[in-house]
Amino acid sequence: DGGITQSPKYLFRKEGQNVTLSCEQNLNHDAMYWYRQDPGQGLRLIYYSQIVNDFQKGDIAEGYSVSREKKESFPLTVTSAQKNPTAFYLCASSIQGPMNTEAFFGQGTRLTVV
Amino acid sequence: EDKVVQSPLSLVVHEGDTVTLNCSYEVTNFRSLLWYKQEKKAPTFLFMLTSSGIEKKSGRLSSILDKKELSSILNITATQTGDSAIYLCAVWTKRQLTFGSGTQLTVLP
């Protein structure tokens, strides 16, 4: 079945650590996105990529980094510079972006700082 | 800066009630408006509304886009406990998909 796979589902980070969240899609979509969700704040865009080897900052990119070396993969690294990383992270993809099309979501990764 | 605002932020109703959720937007280069339902983890797609398709209906859910007022509503009739979820509104612009804060709907038996 086609879809988006995020891993791990739960992740614990110690202070000062970098952690990487995985996002893989087999939908043959060109565009991929990372969102952060905090209670009562909806989804905020961290980074997006419309094509391999290219990506753009979203509204809250500080403290995060991404790469897009393959069409299927768009990993997100939460660096130690992100001071409040505890949140729910959602990866999404669309055929192209932006255009009038549905964006598909993975099941998310819940990151907690310990 | 693109902005999408949803209201109310939360809503509690009883089974059988009808609810109306609101979404207004202030964006450059509007392309389309999407509604999603989020129960636990991944948001699931409900509707997409564009200039050429301003009204959609699926079962007990329906949605209308008002391009003049820059807003949309999502109606749910004869609500059921399974409708309890966060309902997200999002707008495609030239640059990205921007989401509102969501409406938390709770349907009591």
Q: B24-82: per-residue pLDDT in tens?
A: 999 988 989 999 999 988 999 999 998 776 889 999 999 999 988 899 999 999 999 99
Q: Which residue has the tokens 């130690």?
A: A80
List all residues 6 or more positions away from A109 whose beta carbon is below 8 Å from its beta carbon: A6, A7, A8, A9, A10, A11, A21, A88, A89
- Mean per-residue pLDDT, B83-94: 93
Q: Is B21 on the interface with A (CB under 8 A)?
A: no
Give the CA dihedral B45, B102, B92, A77, nearest 10 degrees. -90
The answer to whether B34 contacts A105, with C-beta atoms less than 8 Å apart, is no
Q: Which residue of B has its CA nearest to A100?
A: B32
**Residue B57: predicted pLDDT:** 92
Neighbours of B86 (CB within 10 A): 20
**Is pLDDT at A57 greater than 80 in this prediction?**
yes
- Most B CBs within 10 A among A102, A109, A111, hence the mutation to make, goes to A102
Does B51 or A8 have the greater pLDDT score? A8
DSSP state of B81: G
Chain A residue numbers touching B90 (CB-CB < 8 A): 43, 103
Contacts of A87 in chain B (CB under 8 A): none
CB contacts of B101 in chain A (<8 Å) are 40-42
How would residue A98 be classed by pLDDT, with cut points 50, 70 and 90? Answer: low
Cβ contact A48–B96 (<8 Å): yes
What is the dihedral angle through the alpha carbons of A87, A93, A97, A100, rounded to the nearest 10 degrees?
-100
Q: How far is B70 from B100, CA to CA, in rounded Å?
A: 14
Is B31–A100 a contact, with Cβ atoms under 8 angstroms apart?
A: yes
Q: Taking Cα atoms as reference points, which of B21, B17, B25 lies closest to residue B8? A: B21
Residues of A in contact with B99 (CB under 8 A): 35, 42-44
C-alpha–C-alpha distance, residues A43 and A57, integer Å: 15
Cβ atoms of residues B107 and B84 within 8 Å: yes
Query: Given a cut of 90, is residue A40 above it in pLDDT?
Result: no
Residue B85 pLDDT greater than 80, yes or no: yes
Note whether A45 contacts B97, CB cutoff 8 Å: yes
How far A79 CA lies from chain B's nearest CA (Å)?
24
Average pLDDT over residues A24-28: 96
- Does A99 contact B at CB distance below 8 Å? yes
> With pLDDT > 70 as the criterion, what percentage of chain A qualifies?
97
Say what the pLDDT of residue B95 is: 74
- A43 band by pLDDT with thresholds 50, 70 and 90: very high
